[in-house]
């Protein structure tokens, strides 16, 4: 039993180690160049080491492609490959070797690679013959040798498809992610590039190997428009605002004389792409006038600043109850400095990936309408939540904004959470199985020991019974001997008595 238990425990331990090993992502590349310093005409060896399931990498020297390596087979584990490329230093100066492309881990995680190494080429002493040097220059065009291929590739960026393997040949411009049928590959450098032969719309074209990839690139996301709808300053010529201007305060009052028919308002935005529209600043009447300054950001989100213009010395605001929030709480989150009804913009940075927030908000006026926008489906980066208030009579409005920042790390953790939970669940299952086996083993041992003890007890009882039976038999035998002796004695006495009587 113990032998089998050891085998099971060893097997489960190896399985556990293998599972944890698979949870580690190990795709990587390295580039080494030797020697680091050479003279003109010397040969340099560049070594590329790849550890991945798939890859598409190109090695260049001062921008000229030396070789391209592509592997598209879907393996169950990462492969380790090493490639060496020779480079002849023909000019003095610095030569920069660069390895670029992408690799894919066994779990299909794709990673872009950009690694470089540099060497220095020193001028060598040239031999002379009667004070002159000779050199050869072969300008004969070289034709690459293609190895047949048949697979689908995609362009990595907007580029040209050439009619031949020359950069001066006629070109057809294509967009990033254009699908091509690869029909031939070449490792030779011709006119500074490694050329691939492809089919595009039924025609044979040629493209530098560094401009294609095996996986379709993600489409470029449209540039996000700016959402800044704050005023940087707000001034009224000849009058003072109450309270003092702040970009987060949306309600103000100003006292003006009877002769004023229009406020001279200067409103500047924080962002140059935001627009300002002033409403209600025409033909002011005696008493209270409501002027709205609507700021529209580049992304079309708006913020409204309200000025109550009190015209005349005796004019007073009809209501001192300015519409605002009396309560704003978010479950599990606290604002820096706490909630202030007169503060209309808040920033929150979260460390965990969430899709929305649990918000409790109450306006300070009864029957005021409230709408919360943007509190759903959070994405990586900044997310804007807007709380809009409107009084029952529609005369007052207020807008609060909460900027929720979801870091990239949180998004990655969210994407990888299921992966690591599976690993943890498997590990826990292995531990539970081991624990069950140990419990069963100990329980079985206990039962076996109990059975052995019971057998020993029964054996002892049986031996005792046999012993007692033997002792009883011995007692019976002794009793029979005594009885026989007594009977013989009685018979002797009887005979003697009879003898005396006869005399």
- What is the C-alpha to C-alpha distance for residues 101 and 196, in angstroms, rounded to an integer? 16
SS3 percent helix, strand, coil of the chain, rounded to 5, is 25, 40, 35
What predicted TM-score, i.e. pTM, was given to this entire model?
A: 0.34
Tokens standing for residue 312: 């005349």
pLDDT of residue 409: 54
Assigned token pair, 230: 């704050």
Give the Å distances, CA to CA, from 229 to 282, 297, 372, 380, 382: 24, 5, 18, 21, 15
**Residue 287 pLDDT more than 70?**
yes
Which one has a higher pLDDT value, 142 or 37?
A: 37
| Whole-number Cα distances in Å, 281 to 12, 284, 292 | 80, 7, 8
Mean pLDDT of 356-385: 88
Q: At what angle are helices 408-502 and 2-22 packed, to 10 degrees?
A: 170
416-470 pLDDT, tens digit per residue, is 555 556 777 778 888 888 888 878 777 777 777 777 777 777 777 777 778 877 8
pLDDT at 267 exceeding the cut of 90:
yes
Predicted local confidence at residue 501, as pLDDT: 46
Query: Which of residues 223 and 263 earns the better pLDDT score?
Result: 263
Contact 267, 285 (CB under 8 A): no
Number of alpha carbons in the 13 Å side-chain half-sphere of residue 488: 6
Give 259's contacts (C-beta < 8 A, 6+ positions apart).
none
Q: Where are the beta strands (DSSP E) in 27-177?
A: 28-34, 37-39, 43-52, 54-61, 64-71, 79-88, 93-104, 110-122, 147-155, 159-162, 171-174
Q: What is the mean pLDDT of residues 169-194?
A: 90
For 408, the 3-state DSSP assignment is: helix
14 pLDDT band, cuts 50/70/90, is low
Number of Cβ within a 10 Å radius of residue 464: 10
Backbone angle region of 192, left / alpha / beta, with phi > 0 → left and psi within -120 to 50 → alpha: left
* pLDDT-derived band at 345, boundaries 50, 70, 90: confident
Q: Which domains does the chain have, with CATH numbers?
A: 28-124 (2.60.40.10), 143-220 (2.30.30.40), 222-317 (2.60.40), 319-406 (2.60.40.2340)
Strand 397-406 to strand 345-349: parallel, antiparallel, or no bridges (unpaired)? parallel
pLDDT in tens, 389-416: 888 887 777 888 898 888 765 444 544 5
Q: What backbone torsions phi and psi does residue 72 show, to the nearest 5 degrees?
A: -120, 0
């Amino acid at each position: 039993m113990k032998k089998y238990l050891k085998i099971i425990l060893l097997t489960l331990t190896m399985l556990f180690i293998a599972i944890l090993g698979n949870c580690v992502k190990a795709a990587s590349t390295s580039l080494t160049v030797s020697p680091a310093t050479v003279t003109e005409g010397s040969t340099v060896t560049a070594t590329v080491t790849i550890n991945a399931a798939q890859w598409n990498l190109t090695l260049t020297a001062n921008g000229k492609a030396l070789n391209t390596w592509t592997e598209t087979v879907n393996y169950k584990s990462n492969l380790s490959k090493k490639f060496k490329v020779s480079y002849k230093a023909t000019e003095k100066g610095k030569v920069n070797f660069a390895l670029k492309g992408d690799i894919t881990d066994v779990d299909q995680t794709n990673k872009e690679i950009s690694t470089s190494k540099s060497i220095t080429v020193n001028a060598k002493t040239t031999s002379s013959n009667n004070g002159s040097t000779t050199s050869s220059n072969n300008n004969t065009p070289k034709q690459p040798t293609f190895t047949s291929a048949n697979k689908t590739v995609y362009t990595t960026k907007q580029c040209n498809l050439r009619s031949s393997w020359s950069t001066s040949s006629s070109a057809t411009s294509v967009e990033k992610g254009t699908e091509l049928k690869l029909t031939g590959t070449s490792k030779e450098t011709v006119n500074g590039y490694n050329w691939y032969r492809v089919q595009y719309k039924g025609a044979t074209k040629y493209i530098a190997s560094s401009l294609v990839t095996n996986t379709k690139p993600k489409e470029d996301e449209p540039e996000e428009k700016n959402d800044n709808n704050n005023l940087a300053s707000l001034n009224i010529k000849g009058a003072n605002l109450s309270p003092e201007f702040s970009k987060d305060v949306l309600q103000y009052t100003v006292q003006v004389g009877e002769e004023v028919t229009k406020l001279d308002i200067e409103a500047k935005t924080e962002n140059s792409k935001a627009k300002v529209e002033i409403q209600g600043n025409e033909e002011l009447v005696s008493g209270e006038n409501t002027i709205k300054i609507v700021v529209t950001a580049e992304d079309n989100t708006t913020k409204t600043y309200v000025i109550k213009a009190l015209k005349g010395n005796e004019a007073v605001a009809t209501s001192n109850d300015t519409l605002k929030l009396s309560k704003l709480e978010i479950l599990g989150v606290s604002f820096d400095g706490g909630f202030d009804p007169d503060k209309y913009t808040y920033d929150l940075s979260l460390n965990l990936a969430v899709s929305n927030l649990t918000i409790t908000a109450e306006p300070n006026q009864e029957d005021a309408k409230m709408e919360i926008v943007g509190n759903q489906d959070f994405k990586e980066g900044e997310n804007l939540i807007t709380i809009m208030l409107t009084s029952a009579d529609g005369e007052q409005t207020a807008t609060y904004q909460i900027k929720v920042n979801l870091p990239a790390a949180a998004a990655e953790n969210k994407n990888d959470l299921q992966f690591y939970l599976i690993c943890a669940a498997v590990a826990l299952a292995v531990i539970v199985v081991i624990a069950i086996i140990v419990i069963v083993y100990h329980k079985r041992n206990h039962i076996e020991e109990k059975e052995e003890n019971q057998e020993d007890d029964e054996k002892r009882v049986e031996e005792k019974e046999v012993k007692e039976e033997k002792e009883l038999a011995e007692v019976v035998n002794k009793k029979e001997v005594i009885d026989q002796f007594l009977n013989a004695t009685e018979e002797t006495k009887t005979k003697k008595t009879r003898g005396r009587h006869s005399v």
